[in-house]
Amino acid sequence: MVTQRIRVRQSTVATIRNHIGEAPVEITATQAKNKLGEVLDCVMQGGVVVITRHETPRAVLLSMDEYAALSGATQSRLDALTTDYDAMLIRMQTGRSRAGMKAAFNATPKQLGKAAVARARKRG
């Protein structure tokens, strides 16, 4: 396999994995420049390549499929959080919510403590 010729060592970047859980190949910037074709072949086969300079990770190469999976997952989580936040904000825009927040900000510590205990008991 071509990727074994460019493999320097198992990556020290333990948190990066490809979609099947494999650790990335770690190569130097010079190797990446000199063997770009082999590096691209490795990436297109589903691998992830970490490019180092002076033994410090500087860049990551991954296929468009891997990138799409990563960015899509992030976007869908962000969309879900945005939807939840918008719904919560709408629920908070009622007169009852405003009155409750005004009462909470004007309450004494003793009143807040009693309200917290009452709510905890109510939840069971």
What are 37-57's pLDDT values in tens digits? 999 988 888 788 999 999 899
**Contact between 48 and 62 (Cβ < 8 Å):** yes
pLDDT, residue 14, reads 54
End-to-end, the C-alpha distance of the chain in Å comes to 61
pLDDT, residue 52, reads 92
How many C-beta atoms lie closer than 10 Å to residue 42's C-beta? Answer: 25
pTM: 0.48
30 exposed, middle or buried (CB, 10 Å; 0-12, 13-18, 19+)? exposed
d(CA 38, CA 43): 9
What are 77-111's pLDDT values in tens digits? 888 899 999 999 988 889 998 888 899 999 999 99
Retrieve residue 44's tokens: 């297109």
Sheet with 56-61, strands from edge to edge, namely 9-10, 25-28, 49-53, 56-61
pLDDT, residue 69, reads 76
Mean pLDDT, residues 53-63: 90
pLDDT, residue 117, reads 95
For the chain, the average pLDDT equals 83
